[in-house]
Amino acid sequence: MSTFSVTYPVTRADLVRYAGASGDFNPIHYSDRVAEAMGLPGVIAHGMLTMALAARAVGEWAGGPDRVVECSVRFTSMVVVPDDDAGVEVVISGTAGEPDDDGLRTVAVEATCAGEQVLGRATARVRDAHAG
């Protein structure tokens, strides 16, 4: 059994950068006006950005992004990102099981923001770093 935990800050600038990099220009991720009109508490992070941070944490633990063979999440709660320089912190933690017959480990992942779970049923399968 192996565990890890990392904390990533997320700012409005990160949302803009992710929008450009991913091509996801849903205005709820950059416009307070649209976000509030849609009944949201404010601009929220792309769920896929949170998932990307989770996959990054898993990959860094496993020894590289190419070791993440599978990943899946539910987006259970929103990451609300204020329009300031500090943004918010997303905490990613994981618990890895032992390698299976295929040399893959299943990693149970948790992601929290402001004490709330923002991903549900988040799991990854990774190629064991020690199997090469």
Partner 1 sequence: MPEGSDIDDLVGQSFTAPQRYEVSRGKVREFAEAVGESSPLCFDPDAAQAAGYADLVAPPTFAVIPAFTGLHEVMARIGAPLQQQVHGEQGFVHHRPIVAGDVLVATATAQRIRAVAGNLFVTVSCEVADVDGEPVTTARSVVVVRGGAQ
| Residues binding partner 1 (CB under 8 A) | 8, 14, 17-18, 20-28, 34, 37-39, 46-49, 51-53, 55-56, 58-60, 64-66, 68-75
CB of 124 to partner 1, least distance (A): 8
In whole angstroms, what separates CA 26 from the centre of its chain?
18
Nearer to partner 1, 25 or 84 (CB): 25
DSSP label at 49? H
Nearer to partner 1, 53 or 113 (CB): 53
Question: Exposure pattern of 69-98 as b/e (b: 16+ CB <10 Å)?
Answer: eebebebebbbbbeeeeebbebbbbbebee
State how far the alpha carbon of 30 is from the alpha carbons of 60, 63, 64, 90, 96, in Å.
29, 33, 31, 18, 35
CB of 55 to partner 1, least distance (A): 4
Nearer to partner 1, 27 or 99 (CB): 27
